[in-house]
C-alpha cells in the first residue's frame, strides 16, 4: 500500500502538470481563508464556553469577588501551559508575523498554530482584559506558512498567503471582508496589484463563509445606523479627533511604561503575581473591563449605559448622568492599564479589540458631555461611540483605513464616511507625531526589521549580513616581516586585501596589494619592514550586528569595494560591494517576481 508521502508527491506532480501557478495560488488562498476562518471560530467558541462555565448561578452571588480571582487563575493556567508543555515564547500575533516576513522569509514556527488557540481563550475567558484578534491572526498566518511549505511555494507566494490569512482572520472575526483586506494591505504592506488583490478577495470571502457556516449570522458588533451625519456636528467631530489622538498617545505610552515596569522583574512568577493582583483589583472595581468587552460596546450602542458600566461595588445614583460620564472616562483610562498589565503578567491576546472598547467608552462620554452641558446641542451618542472606535484604531494601530472601513461595514452603510475620515485622519496624524510606530511595530522599527511599502528598504532588510561575509582572506600579524607576508599570504591568496589581526583576533587594519606592489620585489626590505609599518586603517568597519541598509550606506560614503566585518572588535571577514549588490538583486527578483 503506497505511503502518504508517495501519494502526496503524486498529487504535487499532477498539480505541476495540470494547474498553473496562478490558479494554484487562488486555490491555496481559498484554503488559507477557510483555515484562518476556522481558527477564529475555534477561538471564539473556546472563549465562549469558558465564560459560560464560569457564569453558573453558584458564582453569580459572588460575582465581583470572583472577578478578582478568575484572572489570577487564568493567568496561572497559561503560565503552567507555557512552562510545562509549550516551552516556547508566544509573541504578539501581528509583531511575530511581521518579523517572520522581514527576517525569516515568511516562515513561522508550527507551534504558533495551536499555541494561541489554547492560551488566548483561557486568558480572555477567565477575564484577561485583552482581545482575540491578534491570536486569530497568529494561528491563521502560521497555518498559511505551513501550507506554503507543504506545497513548496516560493517566498513571495508565502508572504501573500500570510496576507490572505490575516484578511481571513479579520473578516471572520467581524464579518467585515473589505476591512479584512484593507487591514492586510495596511499592516503588512502588501503590494496593491491584481495578482495580490484577487487571492486576498478569495481568502476573505472563504473565511467569512466559514464563519457563517459555523456561527450563523450573529455578529460581534451588531448595529444598524439610525442617526444620519449632520453637517452642523462637523466641529464636534474635529474636536473629538484631537481627543482620540491624545487618547491614542496615552494608550501607547501606558503600554510601553507598564511593560518597562514589569520587565524590571526578571522572575516571570513575580510578574505573574503582581500583574494578576493588579488586574483582579481593576476588574473588581470595573467589571465591564472583564474579558474582551464586546458587551460594553453593544450596550453603549443600544443606549444602555447602566448595563455597559456593569455591577460595580459602588453605590451611586444611576440617574446622575455626570457620574455615568465619570465612570465611562475611568473605563477609558483603565482599559489601557488592564490590557497592558494582562500582557505583562504573561497573558496571551491582542490589542485590536481593547482599542475598540476604549474608543467606544470615550466617544459615548464625549457625546454625553455635549448633550448635557445645557447649551442646546444634541448629538448622536451611538454615532460618537462608533467614531470613538475609529479614532482609537487609527491612532493606536496606525491603521486609519482599516478603522474607516471596519466601522462602515459594521454599520451596514457609508453614511458616516465624512466624520469617520475626519476623525481617523486627525487621530492618526497626532499619534504619528508623538509615537512614530504602533505597538505592533515599535520594537521591530527600533531594530530596523519593519516591513514598509518601500521595496528598496524591504529588500535590504530581508538580507542578512552573515550571509554576505566572505572569509577567504589571508590574515597577517602586525609583527610579521614583509618577506614572510609575501610568502605566507600574498603568494597563496587570490585576494588583493589582507586583514591585520593580533593574537586575540582583534582587527587592527588592512594591507592593500597596491600599497606593497612598489616594494614587493625589493628583497632588501623583506627583513627590515614589518606589516605594522605598511598597514592602514580601513575606510569603514562593519559591525556584524548592523543592518544591510547601514552596510550599504557605509559602502556609499567610503567608496570602498571591500569592508571588514567585526564582532566586539574581533575580525570576522569581509563584505564586498559586488556580492552585496548581487544578493540585493537576487532578493529583489525573489520577492517581486
Q: What percentage of the chain's residues is helix, strand, coil (to nearest 5)? A: 65, 5, 30
CA–CA gap between residue 426 and residue 545 (Å, rounded) = 38
Of 101-115, 364-378, 380-394, the poorest mean pLDDT is in 101-115
And the C-alpha cell for 159? 508572504
1 band by pLDDT with thresholds 50, 70 and 90: very low
Residue 128: helix, strand or coil by DSSP?
coil
CA–CA gap between residue 71 and residue 129 (Å, rounded) = 9
DSSP letter string, 520-577 = TT-GGGTTT-BHHHH-B--S--EETTS-HHHHHHHHHHH--SEEEEEETTEEEEEEEH
Q: Which among 475, 434, 19 has a CA at the least distance from the CA of 247?
A: 434
CA atoms within 13 A on the CB side of 216: 2
Q: What is the pLDDT of residue 342?
A: 92
Query: What's the average model confidence in pLDDT over 474-483?
Result: 89
Supply the DSSP symbol for 350.
Answer: B
Q: What is the pLDDT of residue 427?
A: 96
Supply the DSSP symbol for 232.
Answer: G
CA–CA gap between residue 72 and residue 281 (Å, rounded) = 10
Give pTM, 2 decimals: 0.80
239 band by pLDDT with thresholds 50, 70 and 90: very high
Q: Do domains 231-452 and 459-592 have the same CATH topology?
A: no
CA atoms within 13 A on the CB side of 511: 26
As a whole number, the mean pLDDT across the chain is 86
pLDDT at 422 over 70: yes
436 band by pLDDT with thresholds 50, 70 and 90: confident
Q: Which one is predicted more confidently, 502 or 316?
A: 502
* Cβ-contact 45, 172 below 8 angstroms: no
With a CB cutoff of 8 Å and minimum separation 6, the contacts of 543 are 565, 566, 567
Q: Within its chain, how far is the Cα of 368 from the centroid?
A: 35
pLDDT at 421 over 80: yes
Query: What's the average model confidence in pLDDT over 147-160?
Result: 86
Query: What's the average model confidence in pLDDT over 496-506?
Result: 90
Residue ranges per structural domain of the chain: 4-215, 231-452, 459-592
And the C-alpha cell for 265? 522583574
Q: What is the pLDDT of residue 123?
A: 92
CA atoms within 13 A on the CB side of 2: 8
CA–CA gap between residue 336 and residue 252 (Å, rounded) = 8
Superfamily of domain 4-215: Clc chloride channel (1.10.3080.10)
Q: Could you tell me the end-to-end alpha-carbon distance of the chain, in angstroms, rounded to an integer?
A: 40
Q: What is the pLDDT of residue 220?
A: 63
* Cβ-contact 560, 473 below 8 angstroms: no
And the C-alpha cell for 386? 462608533
Q: What is the pLDDT of residue 566?
A: 93
Mind listing the pLDDT tens digit for each residue in 321-376? 899 999 999 999 999 999 999 999 989 988 989 999 999 999 999 999 999 988 88
Q: What is the pLDDT of residue 305?
A: 85
Query: What's the average model confidence in pLDDT over 502-529?
Result: 85
And the C-alpha cell for 455? 521595496
Query: What's the average model confidence in pLDDT over 168-178?
Result: 89
And the C-alpha cell for 202? 478569495
The CATH classification number of 459-592 equals 3.10.580.10
Query: What's the average model confidence in pLDDT over 17-30?
Result: 86
219 band by pLDDT with thresholds 50, 70 and 90: low
CA–CA gap between residue 390 and residue 264 (Å, rounded) = 34
And the C-alpha cell for 20? 498553473
Helix (H) or strand (E) holding 508: strand 507-512
Query: What's the average model confidence in pLDDT over 188-206?
Result: 78
189 band by pLDDT with thresholds 50, 70 and 90: low
CA–CA gap between residue 427 and residue 280 (Å, rounded) = 31
CA–CA gap between residue 54 and residue 60 (Å, rounded) = 9
Query: What's the average model confidence in pLDDT over 274-298?
Result: 87
Q: What is the pLDDT of residue 451?
A: 64
pLDDT at 378 over 60: yes
The CATH classification number of 231-452 equals 1.10.3080.10
Q: Which one is predicted more confidently, 349 or 521?
A: 349
pLDDT at 62 over 70: no
CA–CA gap between residue 556 and residue 318 (Å, rounded) = 68
Burial class (CB in 10 A: 0-12, 13-18, 19+), 329: middle
% of the chain beyond a pLDDT of 90: 35
Amino acid at each position: 500500500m503506497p505511503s502518504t508521502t508517495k501519494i502526496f508527491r503524486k498529487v504535487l506532480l499532477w498539480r505541476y502538470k495540470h494547474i498553473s501557478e496562478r490558479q494554484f495560488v487562488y486555490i491555496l488562498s481559498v484554503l488559507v481563508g477557510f483555515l484562518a476562518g476556522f481558527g477564529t471560530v475555534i477561538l471564539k467558541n473556546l472563549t465562549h464556553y469558558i465564560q459560560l462555565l464560569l457564569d453558573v448561578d453558584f458564582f453569580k452571588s459572588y460575582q465581583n469577588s470572583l472577578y478578582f480571582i478568575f484572572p489570577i487563575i487564568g493567568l496561572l493556567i497559561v503560565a503552567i501551559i507555557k512552562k510545562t508543555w509549550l516551552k516556547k515564547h508566544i509573541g504578539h500575533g501581528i509583531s511575530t508575523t511581521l518579523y517572520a516576513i522581514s527576517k525569516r522569509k515568511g516562515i513561522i514556527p508550527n507551534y504558533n498554530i495551536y499555541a494561541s488557540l489554547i492560551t488566548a481563550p483561557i486568558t480572555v475567558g477567565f477575564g484577561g482584559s485583552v482581545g482575540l484578534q491578534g491570536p486569530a491572526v497568529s494561528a491563521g498566518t502560521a497555518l498559511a506558512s505551513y501550507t506554503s511549505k507543504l506545497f513548496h511555494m516560493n517566498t513571495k507566494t508565502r508572504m501573500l498567503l500570510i496576507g490572505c490569512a490575516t484578511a481571513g482572520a479579520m473578516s471572520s472575526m467581524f464579518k467585515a471582508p473589505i476591512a479584512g483586506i484593507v487591514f492586510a494591505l495596511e499592516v503588512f504592506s502588501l503590494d496593491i496589484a491584481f495578482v495580490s488583490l484577487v487571492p486576498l478577495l478569495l481568502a476573505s470571502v472563504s473565511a467569512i463563509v466559514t464563519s457563517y457556516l459555523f456561527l450563523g449570522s450573529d455578529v460581534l458588533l451588531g448595529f444598524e445606523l439610525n442617526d444620519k451625519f449632520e453637517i452642523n456636528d462637523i466641529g464636534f467631530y474635529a474636536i473629538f479627533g484631537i481627543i482620540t489622538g491624545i487618547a491614542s498617545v496615552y494608550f501607547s505610552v501606558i503600554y510601553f511604561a507598564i511593560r518597562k515596569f514589569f520587565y524590571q522583574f526578571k522572575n516571570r512568577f513575580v510578574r505573574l503575581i503582581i500583574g494578576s493582583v493588579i488586574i483582579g483589583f481593576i476588574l473588581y472595581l470595573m467589571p465591564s473591563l472583564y474579558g474582551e468587552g464586546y458587551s460594553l460596546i453593544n450596550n453603549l450602542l443600544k443606549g444602555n449605559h447602566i448595563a455597559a458600566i456593569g455591577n460595580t461595588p459602588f453605590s451611586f445614583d444611576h440617574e446622575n448622568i455626570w457620574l455615568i460620564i465619570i465612570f465611562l472616562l475611568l473605563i477609558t483610562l483603565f482599559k489601557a492599564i488592564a490590557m497592558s498589565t494582562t500582557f505583562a503578567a504573561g497573558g496571551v491576546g491582542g490589542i485590536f479589540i481593547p482599542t475598540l472598547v476604549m474608543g467606544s467608552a470615550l466617544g459615548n462620554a464625549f457625546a454625553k458631555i455635549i448633550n448635557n452641558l445645557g447649551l442646546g446641542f444634541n448629538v448622536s451618542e451611538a454615532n460618537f461611540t462608533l467614531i470613538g472606535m475609529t479614532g482609537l484604531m487609527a491612532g493606536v494601530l496606525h491603521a486609519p483605513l482599516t478603522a474607516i472601513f471596519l466601522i462602515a461595514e459594521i454599520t451596514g452603510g457609508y453614511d458616516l464616511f465624512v466624520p469617520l475620515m475626519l476623525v481617523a485622519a486627525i487621530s492618526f496624524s497626532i499619534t504619528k507625531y508623538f509615537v512614530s510606530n504602533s505597538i505592533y511595530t515599535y520594537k521591530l522599527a527600533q531594530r530596523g526589521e519593519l516591513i514598509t511599502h518601500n521595496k528598496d528598504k524591504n529588500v535590504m532588510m530581508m538580507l542578512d549580513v552573515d550571509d554576505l561575509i566572505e572569509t577567504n582572506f589571508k590574515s597577517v600579524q602586525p609583527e610579521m616581516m614583509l618577506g614572510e607576508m609575501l610568502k605566507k599570504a600574498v603568494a597563496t591568496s587570490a585576494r588583493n586585501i589582507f586583514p591585520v589581526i593580533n593574537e586575540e583576533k582583534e582587527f587592527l587594519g588592512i594591507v592593500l596589494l597596491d600599497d606593497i606592489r612598489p616594494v614587493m620585489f625589493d628583497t632588501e626590505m623583506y627583513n627590515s619592514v614589518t606589516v605594522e609599518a605598511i598597514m592602514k586603517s580601513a575606510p569603514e568597519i562593519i559591525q556584524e550586528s548592523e543592518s544591510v541598509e547601514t552596510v550599504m550606506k557605509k559602502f556609499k560614503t567610503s567608496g570602498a569595494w571591500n569592508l571588514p566585518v567585526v564582532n566586539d572588535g574581533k575580525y570576522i571577514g569581509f563584505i564586498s560591494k559586488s556580492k552585496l549588490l548581487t544578493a540585493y538583486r537576487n532578493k529583489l527578483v525573489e520577492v517581486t517576481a
